[in-house]
Amino acid sequence: MPELPEVETIRLQLAPALEGRRIDGVEVRDARWSEPAPPEAIDDALRGRLIEQVARRGKYLIVSLGDDVHLVMHLRMTGNLLLIEGAEHPPLHTRVAVQLDDGRRLLFVDVRRFGTGDVLLGSDALAEYFESRLGVEPLSADFTSEALRAMARGRKQPVKAFLLNQERIAGVGNIYADEALFRARIHPLRSVGTLKRDQIEALRAGVVESLELGIDSKGASIDDYRHLDGARGSFQDRFLVHTRAGEPCPRCGTPIEKLRAAGRGTYVCPNCQRRPRVRRR
């Protein structure tokens, strides 16, 4: 059993990664392990350990290994995690390959290199990592109207920025936020602190419903099938307003409009989701 490195948190920079190495003939460019941990420390932390549990928190994946070692990964926008057979050729843009003892490999593939990975030593380090980053799980019993109202109270922030902030509600992305707001009939630029009690409840329900659209009948996220041809199209078809500028609102027929909120492309029905009095840009 290898000795644990002294550092408590190892930054495993998946993007870029593994300078100067080739993975089955696939060249990996501009790669390096970032400070403070040298590659040997990463190897030592992972080598010989059993995968005991795979979990999710917000948009993070957690692979828990023996001796309280945790590999925490984020796919960001284009990342993908693949399990391949030993003889299989890793796809282009493979950044990190973890060799498993049965001959298979776990690949982190990411065209844009936004994805991240951290090796955390100990459950305290793991808890701390998420405490500073993530708020309530919206699909848990803790996500009540009361909790949402308490978080929103007094804030002038546009409601869309509030939803995208992972430190309060974990896991709501751009597409999901638009869907939740459309369902709740709330304009994304509305100040979150001004929402009435019934709007807060509608927003809570909208968030839950939008997230459920991303889960298929087997309980797996539809994002699990991203790499399969055609999955992407059917995924987007589930959402009513996102990327549908010009198309008629499914509720009232008014053309969907595109605007910018919280720095992201944002889609609304201008009739169902009334603009706040004070315009902002």
Interacting residue ranges for DNA, rule: CB under 7 A = 15-16, 29-30, 58-59, 74, 76-78, 111-114, 133, 155-158, 161, 164, 166, 173-175, 223, 226, 232, 242-243, 258, 262-265, 280
- If the CB atoms of residues 121 and 214 are measured against DNA, the closer one turns out to be 214
Cis-peptide into 255, omega within 30 deg = no
Select which of 49, 57, 59, 155 is catalytic.
Answer: 59
Catalytic residue among 264, 270, 275, 276: 264
CB 165 within 8 A of CB 148: no
CA angle 269, 200, 184 (to 5 degrees): 25
- Is 264 one of the annotated active-site residues of the chain? yes
Nearer to DNA, 44 or 135 (CB): 135
Catalytic-residue membership of 2: yes
Provide, rounded to whole angstroms, the least separation between the CB of residue 41 and DNA: 20
Q: Which CB atom, from 15 or from 256, has the smaller least distance to DNA?
A: 15
DSSP letter string, 117-178: EEEEESHHHHHHHHHTT--B-TTSTT--HHHHHHHHTT--SBHHHHHH-TTTBSS--HHHHH
Q: How far is the CB of 67 from DNA (least distance, A)?
A: 25
Peptide bond into 16 cis (omega under 30): yes
Closest to 93 measured CA to CA, from 32, 29, 13: 29
Quick check: is 137 catalytic? no
Q: Which of 3, 6, 35, 85 is catalytic?
A: 3
- Residue 47: CB minimum distance to DNA, A: 27
Using DSSP's 3-state secondary structure scheme, residue 116 falls into: strand
> Is 47 a known active-site residue?
no
Q: Which residues are catalytic?
A: 2-3, 59, 264
